[in-house]
Structure 1
Amino acid sequence: MKKQAKVISVINWKGGVGKTTLTHHLAAGLQHISADEFEGFLGHRSLPKVLLVDADAQCNLSISCLTPERFAEMVYDSPTTIGTLKELFEQFLQNEQSTINVEQYILKACVKSGNDKVYDHIDLLPSHEDLIYTDMNIAVYSRPNFDQKLIGADIYKFQILNNILNAVKNQYDFILIDCPPNLNYVTQNALYASDFYLIPTIPDRLSSYGLSSITHKVRSLNDLFRSAAKMYKETKLIGIVLNQIREYGGKPKDTQDNIISTLKELFPTDIFEHYLTHGDGISRASAHSCPVFAFPHSNYTKQIDGVINITREFLNKLGDGVVV
């Protein structure tokens, strides 16, 4: 069966809620689901191929995969620096039929799975700090002789990432995009390119406050994109994943539990049943630029199990009901 990746954006306008953590660990979690669980969903028993796309100028996902030192050397210091998403945006902004080879910008098998080992099926399209200027470049850029009506004339500015990913979609089962904490052009490009989106959040009042605005805005963008591009398909919400849950007696502490109850009233079918608990397993693993699976410790089984359960629920919420 020919592959056609499902593209998922991980978004939240607020920073520090776990976007990079969820993106990084969901890719790893997909490597730890059994072949039996995958067979019905993907049509094959082999491990899924995952492309991580770092669309945030903070470059946290790239650093989480490569280490800060290796990332800096590869992107800034090496005599033969690697290409990044920034350069691809620049190329495809000027010409959506660019002949540039997107594969050359993808780092193969760069996520650590253990000592001197990597996940063979996870690749990375890295970011660049100068991606922060890309939004301004997109805003002021105008293609010559682009004589369509107003909305049609501008729609190419939202299709750049989609055109980039179309070049490699048939090589992956999943493409996970770590979005910046804003709704500028790069994030809107990610949403245009995506089949689905995930919202991570922390159950405190400030972090939870803007969730409704995210879902409302995505619906508005769906309407806008659909009116401008006949082939556009709606980007659907998979769900909302809770992070940094502090437990007492096997359940969230009362202050967080009250907020979770409120969120479930507002989003009755969208809150993931499983969540990531507070603890130093993921944070310690992140400090070593690896997912928690690659940093085994008896005290971290709670967070490892949390990632696995979120991954299974993620697959179920995609609609195929593969994992029971």
Structure 2
Amino acid sequence: MTRKAKTVSVINWKGGVGKTTLTYHLAVGLQHLSRDQLEPLAYKNMPPKVLLVDADAQCNLCISCLTAEQFEHMIYRDKAGTLKDLIKHFLENERPPVDVHDYILPSCVRSGNDEVYTNIDLLPSHPDLIYTDMNIAVYSRPNFRKQLLGSDLYKFQLLDNILNTVKHEYDFIFIDCPPNLNYVTQNALYASDCYLIPTIPDKLSSYGILSIIHKVNDLNQMFRSAVKGYTDTKLVGIVLNQIREYGNKPKDTQAYIINILKSMFHTEIFENYLTYGDGIPKASAFGYPVFALARSHPNSEKQSQCVKNITFEFVTYSHHLRFA
């Protein structure tokens, strides 16, 4: 069956708000949704096929999938290809002679007991990706003929061109973006159908959400005016993370911030949220998603259910968004 992946950027200018946690666990959460939940939404591949793209030089998504030791061995000793290398190839050549499949790590998320999620693949990052923005900025293709946005339009299309070679093989592509709006993030937004904003409900973490939305709207307008057939990258919603509960409800201090956010963003705030607790950190220490400990650790069980609720809300709402 021919697939056409729904591509999703997970973004926030702030660090430590749960971008990687959300990206990673959405991919895993899709593997745990039931057929009854997915079939009415026309997801006939059970479970959905997912590609994770680590676009952050901090490489936290790679470490979540592979562990730090395996990841460092892979890039420094095995010299495995990464997103950094792909961007370089596509930057220097309009049609580079490379196969994107050679850079994708198949079935790399462990589910526990030496088993893996066979439907989740990873396009890894590299710490040197931090220099890629500078390389994109200073690079200029010789004899480049396109004039839209000057001669630099291709600098925003690199990731889109990379993903278009494999998009038909997946149902979802999740991009874990860096905490900035440099070229790599703008590439991710150009390539995406929609985006998610994770945040913690405190004053400093939630500050700037409006700025993100306005900037994405500005980019949509710029790309739309430059590229015939470009479709806007739409906001799916804002996902709250690290919610401390009392009586199965957010504690008063966080509830106050949540109410302010809901008054500002209305329906954009997800009804479901990820609770605070040691379930995810404990699972992460073993190199697993939170589901691996759900049967043996009470907080992992609760956070696993939170992930499933957020994932189902995401697929339900994103299914009804119009991307054309």
TM-score range, shorter-chain basis? over 0.9
Is contact 1:177–1:190 with CA below 8 Å preserved after alignment? yes
The Cα shift of 1:283 comes to: 1.0
Map 1:1-324 → 2, pairs under 5 A: 1-78=1-78, 81-149=79-147, 151-296=149-294, 297-299=296-298, 300-320=300-320
- With structure 1 as the length reference, what TM-score do the two structures score? 0.96
The Cα shift of 1:298 comes to: 3.6
Gaps of 5+ in 2: none
SS of the equivalent of 1:53 reads: strand
SS of the equivalent of 1:127 reads: coil
- With structure 2 as the length reference, what TM-score do the two structures score? 0.96
Q: 2:163 & 2:127 partners in 1: Cα distance?
A: 20
How many aligned residue pairs are there? 319
Q: 2:55 & 2:157 partners in 1: Cα distance?
A: 14
Deviations 1:194-216 (A, max 9, x none): 00000000000001110000000
Which one is further off, 234-243 or 311-320?
311-320
The Cα shift of 1:89 comes to: 0.3
The Cα shift of 1:86 comes to: 0.3
The Cα shift of 1:191 comes to: 0.1
Which one is further off, 9-18 or 31-40?
31-40
Identity rate, percent = 66
SS of the equivalent of 1:123 reads: strand
SS of the equivalent of 2:231 reads: coil
Paired amino acid for 1:204: D
Deviations 1:246-290 (A, max 9, x none): 001110000100000000010001000000000000011112221
Paired amino acid for 1:66: L
Is contact 1:35–1:45 with CA below 8 Å preserved after alignment? no
Which one is further off, 92-101 or 109-118?
92-101
Q: 1:70 & 1:227 partners in 2: Cα distance?
A: 44
Which one is further off, 312-321 or 50-59?
312-321
Paired amino acid for 1:60: N
Paired amino acid for 1:84: T
Which one is further off, 29-38 or 252-261?
29-38
Runs of 4+ in 1 over 2 A off after TM superposition: 40-43, 147-150, 295-298
The Cα shift of 1:95 comes to: 1.6
Is contact 1:109–1:119 with CA below 8 Å preserved after alignment? yes
Q: 1:151 & 1:320 partners in 2: Cα distance?
A: 32
The Cα shift of 1:150 comes to: 6.0
Deviations 1:124-151 (A, max 9, x none): 0000000000000000001111244361
Q: 1:134 & 1:180 partners in 2: Cα distance?
A: 12
Gaps of 5+ in 1: none
Q: 1:319 & 1:52 partners in 2: Cα distance?
A: 19
Which one is further off, 308-317 or 289-298?
289-298
Q: 2:227 & 2:169 partners in 1: Cα distance?
A: 25
Is contact 1:152–1:229 with CA below 8 Å preserved after alignment? no
RMSD, aligned CA: 1.2
Is contact 2:148–2:226 with CA below 8 Å preserved after alignment? no
Which one is further off, 31-40 or 190-199?
31-40
The Cα shift of 1:114 comes to: 1.0
Is contact 2:12–2:180 with CA below 8 Å preserved after alignment? yes
The Cα shift of 1:70 comes to: 0.4
The Cα shift of 1:152 comes to: 4.3
Q: 2:183 & 2:297 partners in 1: Cα distance?
A: 43
Which one is further off, 10-19 or 150-159?
150-159
Q: 1:134 & 1:27 partners in 2: Cα distance?
A: 26
Is contact 2:107–2:117 with CA below 8 Å preserved after alignment? yes
Q: 2:183 & 2:48 partners in 1: Cα distance?
A: 30
Is contact 1:89–1:160 with CA below 8 Å preserved after alignment? yes
The Cα shift of 1:40 comes to: 2.9
Q: 1:149 & 1:87 partners in 2: Cα distance?
A: 26
